[in-house]
Amino acid sequence: MSDIFTRYGDGSPTRMSKEDIRFDLEEGTQDAADRGKIPALTEAELDRLFEICTMPEKAVTVERGDEVIVSFDAGTLKLPVRAGVPMDRSAAILTHERAFCSDTMELGHVDYSYKQLKAIIHEECQAMEHIQLNTIIPVFYGAMPNLGLYTKPDGPIENWSELLPLAKIDEAKAAQEEAMEHAVKDIVYVASRMYESGADGINFDTVGASGDADVLATLKAAEILKEKYPDIAIEFGMAGEFVLGMHGELYYDGTRLAGLYPHQQVKMAEKAGAAIFGAVINTNSSMSFAWNIARAVTFVKACTEAASIPVHVNVGMGVGAIPVTNTPPVDAVSRADKALVEIGKADGL
């Protein structure tokens, strides 16, 4: 009998029988275990996950005492830009601090890539200095490494997304290696200036969006920054659940980056000096919430067990079992949060 209200990964509402939900939980954890070569959830954990998925309440919460830290990417893009509220970025941060009671916040520019920020770095520094006078919560400065921006027509380097389909593999690899050098310089420059202006932390958001070279550039930049500023707090937020091998032959500390899953990615981030790791598990919009959350929790549990630093799981639209829709439903979001914290042992979201 179809008696439990739930959703698909694209947010569509549906009803499923308890048997089907249980089946999808088992399939989801197995999928993560197969892909990541990590342990599947135990029967007891699946039982708890089943309870969370089938709770009749619209919104659920973690148990008292289990609360975690919430950090943000694209922080100041949300209220003034995406929501269209006519406020400046400092007002957005204060709204988060004093009205939403966010634990941390992030200052970011609408052109959210390190490369683009060089030209406006003075304005960004000034904004950070001003914001630091008025805020109490820690404020990150964040942007994306976005290696793709160094390719034609946006940059000087040949576009490997065009070279690869033409089977120009060596040229595509060389282009990525060249782009890395530019990206490292830009990331270090922008992050240094923002840290010196008082940023409490630097957020590398969507690391790996352009593949393994994007990850290596960010790891190298983090290493340089940590050596330059031993007290700098770096958050390393990933783009996807495994590192996309656009190059395929890039190594960090002897480990090939392409194909690494969250429990392996976190070790790279730690070595580079990150203080917080932002794990990402993609939501499959065709599958049920039960399948997606079982999969996400399995990856996160392996990641938090492997990590020596706190893991903040990405729970934005389309990741961490959050449905791929602009208005993620509260029932799915709150269940994802509860499961990731209680079973996945996330240190933050």
Partner 1 sequence: MSLEDIIAEARETILQCDQARAVAVAERAVAQGFDPVQVLSEGFSYGIRQMGDLFGRGEVFLPQLILSSEVMKSAVAILDAAIQGGTPQAKAKMVIATVEGDVHDIGKGIVVSLLKTQGIEVYDLGRDVPTVKIIEKALEVEADIIGTSALLTTTLMGQKKLEDELRKNGLRDRFKTMVGGAPATQRWADRIGADAYAEDAAEAVTKALALLGK
Partner 2 sequence: MAITHEMAAGMGGIRTAGDLVARMQMTKGMKIKEAKEYVAAKVGVSTFDLCDEAVMKEVREQLDIGHVQARVGASIGMEAKFNIARVLDMKIKAVENFKRKTGM
Query: Nearer to partner 2 by C-beta: 119 or 136?
Result: 136
Gyration radius from the chain CA atoms: 20
Q: Is 318 in the site for partner 1 (CB under 8 A)?
A: yes
Q: Residue 143: helix, strand or coil by DSSP?
A: strand
Q: Is 30 in the site for partner 1 (CB under 8 A)?
A: no
CA distance 82 to 92: 12
- In angstroms, give the least distance from the CB of 332 to partner 1: 15
> Using alpha carbons only, what angle is made at residue 178 by residues 175 and 181, rounded to the nearest 5 degrees?
150
B/e letters for 47-83, b = 16+ CB within 10 Å, e = fewer, are ebbbebbbeeeeebebeeeeebebbbbbbbbbbbbee
The DSSP result for 192-246, as a single string, is HHHHHTT-SEEEEEEETTT-HHHHHHHHHHHHHHHHH-TT--EEEEESSSS---S
Q: Residue 121 binds what, of partner 2, partner 1, none (CB under 5 to 8 Å, by partner type)?
A: none
Select from 53-61, 114-122, 243-251, 282-290 the region that touches partner 2 (CB under 8 A): 53-61
Q: Residue 35 binds what, of partner 2, partner 1, none (CB under 5 to 8 Å, by partner type)?
A: partner 1
Select from 69-77, 208-216, 254-262, 293-301 the region that touches partner 2 (CB under 8 A): 69-77
Query: Nearer to partner 1 by C-beta: 135 or 265?
Result: 265
Interface residue with partner 1, options 195, 261, 277, 291 (CB under 8 A) = 261
- In angstroms, give the least distance from the CB of 283 to partner 1: 8
193-222 residues in contact with partner 1 (CB under 8 A) are 210-212
Q: Residue 2 binds what, of partner 2, partner 1, none (CB under 5 to 8 Å, by partner type)?
A: none
Query: Nearer to partner 2 by C-beta: 214 or 235?
Result: 235
Q: Is 59 in the site for partner 2 (CB under 8 A)?
A: yes
Cα dihedral sign, 154-145-184-178: negative
The DSSP result for 110-138, as a single string, is SS-BHHHHGGGHHHHHHHHHHHHHH--S-
Q: Is 39 in the site for partner 1 (CB under 8 A)?
A: no
Structure tokens at 275: 């203080």
Residue carrying the six token digits 């996330």: 346
**CB of 297 closer than 8 Å to CB of 343:** yes
CA distance 292 to 333: 12
**207 beta partners:** 238
* C-alpha distances out from residue 109 to 57, 120, 121, 194, Å: 38, 10, 10, 12
- In angstroms, give the least distance from the CB of 215 to partner 1: 12
Q: Is 35 in the site for partner 1 (CB under 8 A)?
A: yes
Which residues, other chains included, contact 307 with Cβ-Cβ below 8 Å and sequence gap of 6+?
263, 266, 267, 270, 277
Interface residue with partner 2, options 76, 104, 116, 292 (CB under 8 A) = 104
Query: Nearer to partner 1 by C-beta: 120 or 169?
Result: 169
How many residues sit in the footprint of partner 1 (CB under 8 A)? Answer: 37
Residues that bind partner 2 (CB under 8 A): 59-62, 64-72, 78, 96-104, 129, 132-138, 195-201, 231, 233, 235, 275-276, 307-310, 315-317, 328, 330, 333-334, 337-338, 340-341, 347-349
Residues that bind partner 1 (CB under 8 A): 8-10, 12, 35, 161-162, 164-165, 167, 169, 172-173, 210-212, 242-249, 258-261, 282, 284-286, 317-318, 324-326
